[in-house]
Structure 1
Amino acid sequence: MPAADFGTIAELRQSLIRKALRYAVFAADANADAVTAPFDEGGILQTLPAGYLPVGYTTTDGVTFSGDLSMSDVESGQSAAPTRSDVETDTQTAAWVPQETNAAAVALYENLPLTGTGALPALGTATWTWSRPKVAPTLYRRLVFIAEDLNKTTGQPLYIVRHFPSALRTAREDEQWTRTAEIARGVTYQAYIDDEVGTDAVTWIDGPGWRAFAPTTP
């Protein structure tokens, strides 16, 4: 076989190192339409279906996507390593800390509907009030996370869109009132398989900056 050039076979490309230069979180009730096509045929980012509300500013920690993977191993007397392993559970969560006191941030933290009966009214139109029920409701949400980056060469935007079509609040952080920091309402939502979409999470990467990586046709 011919000798290999390490720089060639390693295919190290700085242009493929991604950052979320800007990002946003959106939430909708379970009866909203799931996101199926966040980009058009030309890779242009499209508006979300009706019912999705922006969460607004978050802390600099951004959005943390975590996974919990557990395996079921078979051990045998003749082997020090498992002789068979199967995935037992594989779950994904998203955690973030909103800084704004807006309808989406409060509803996600307090487990309130985002629209319809029981939802908070528009800002400034009426008094906001809510009470904790005797039995906490199980409210599934549809969540969308959008990150924007730029193509290093062309300067064009590219986007990473992740959709949890069915997500449930599984944790929330303490709400602290102090004169030295904003009132923040951190939450964690776990993704569950949605019958309509057939998965617990869908991710797309597209945009003019992403299309620029496509090889040219001779």
Structure 2
Amino acid sequence: MVAADFDTMAALQTSLIRKALSYAIFAADADAPAVTAPFDEAGVLQELPTGYLPVGYTNGDGVTFSGDLSMSDVESGQAAMPTRSDVETDIQTAAWVPQETNAAAVCLYENLLLDHFPDMGSATWTWSRPKTPPTLYRRLVFIARDLNKATGNPLYVVRHMPAALRTERDDEQWVRTAEISRAVTYQAYFDEGAGTDSQTWIDGPGWRDYAPPVVP
């Protein structure tokens, strides 16, 4: 056995503590292309496909990604703990509180197609509640931007839900002391084309700065 140096073993690195210094949420209808390559080969963030609208400002709680994981256990008379466990459900949701009254925020809250409204200010915005609400799947993209502590270059965390469905919305309150907000929760569902219910990428110039130097 070789004596260990605890500090070396622990490999504690404050530079790898990530924060979403800024972030953005984008939404598209189900007929928009799914996001497959948010970065190019050099790690440069790319524009989203046509059809994605920005949600804009959200409140200070940001975006909350929640998971609902449940297990199916087998209990045996000869053991005090489960002798077998299998995943029964593993659900991911995203929740946020938009502060802007823009097309994406209203359509996601009211369950409307994202092209429902004309350009802002060009005509009246109006909508009515249908007798039977449609089931509208969305494509959602969440982008968080942080900085490499050593180089100051940006790095990004991109999460894509290719098939998300509104599963909850909070009360819309009109009050003099606060903005009109339209809080929603969307649940990720498996998308056959993407082969997943959620995909995440980490890249950007600041991320590439962590690469070990090339030895000639």
Instruction: Name the TM-score class by shorter chain.
Output: over 0.9
Report the Cα distance in structure 2 between the residues aligned to 1:11 and 1:136, rounded to whole angstroms. 53
Report the Cα distance in structure 2 between the residues aligned to 1:48 and 1:83, rounded to whole angstroms. 47
Report the Cα distance in structure 1 between the residues aligned to 2:117 and 2:57, rounded to whole angstroms. 19
1:165 corresponds to 2:137: no
Corresponding residue for residue 75 of structure 1:
75
Tell me the matched-pair count: 215
For the residue of structure 2 that corresponds to 1:76, the secondary structure is coil
Corresponding residue for residue 54 of structure 2:
54
* Structure 2 runs not aligned, ≥5 long: none
Corresponding residue for residue 108 of structure 1:
108
1:192 corresponds to 2:201: no
Which runs of at least 4 in structure 1 moved beyond 4 Å after TM superposition? none
Report the Cα distance in structure 2 between the residues aligned to 1:122 and 1:160, rounded to whole angstroms. 30
Report the Cα distance in structure 1 between the residues aligned to 2:148 and 2:165, rounded to whole angstroms. 34
Report the Cα distance in structure 1 between the residues aligned to 2:162 and 2:143, rounded to whole angstroms. 14
Superimposed CA distance per residue, residues 182-211 of structure 1 (whole angstroms, 9 cap, x where no aligned partner): 000000000000010010000000000000
Report the Cα distance in structure 2 between the residues aligned to 1:170 and 1:4, rounded to whole angstroms. 51
Length-normalised TM-score, structure 1: 0.98
Corresponding residue for residue 36 of structure 1:
36
Identity %: 76
1:7 corresponds to 2:4: no
Superimposed CA distance per residue, residues 45-97 of structure 1 (whole angstroms, 9 cap, x where no aligned partner): 00000000000000010000000000000000000100000000001000000
Report the Cα distance in structure 2 between the residues aligned to 1:103 and 1:178, rounded to whole angstroms. 21
What letter is aligned with 1:125? S
Report the Cα distance in structure 2 between the residues aligned to 1:154 and 1:217, rounded to whole angstroms. 18
For the residue of structure 1 that corresponds to 2:109, the secondary structure is helix
For residues 15-34 of structure 1, the aligned pairs below 5 Å read 15-34=15-34
What letter is aligned with 1:10? A
Report the Cα distance in structure 1 between the residues aligned to 2:73 and 2:101, rounded to whole angstroms. 47
Report the Cα distance in structure 1 between the residues aligned to 2:73 and 2:40, rounded to whole angstroms. 44
For the residue of structure 1 that corresponds to 2:105, the secondary structure is helix
Deviation at residue 6 of structure 1 after TM alignment? 0.6
Report the Cα distance in structure 2 between the residues aligned to 1:141 and 1:197, rounded to whole angstroms. 13
Corresponding residue for residue 140 of structure 1:
137
The equivalent position to 1:150 in structure 2, one of 144, 147, 152, is 147
Report the Cα distance in structure 2 between the residues aligned to 1:79 and 1:122, rounded to whole angstroms. 65
Deviation at residue 136 of structure 1 after TM alignment? 0.8
Deviation at residue 120 of structure 1 after TM alignment? 1.2
For the residue of structure 2 that corresponds to 1:3, the secondary structure is coil
Deviation at residue 121 of structure 1 after TM alignment? 1.2
What letter is aligned with 2:16? L
What letter is aligned with 1:141? R
Report the Cα distance in structure 2 between the residues aligned to 1:43 and 1:139, rounded to whole angstroms. 33
Report the Cα distance in structure 2 between the residues aligned to 1:21 and 1:7, rounded to whole angstroms. 29
For the residue of structure 1 that corresponds to 2:104, the secondary structure is helix
Report the Cα distance in structure 2 between the residues aligned to 1:45 and 1:72, rounded to whole angstroms. 41
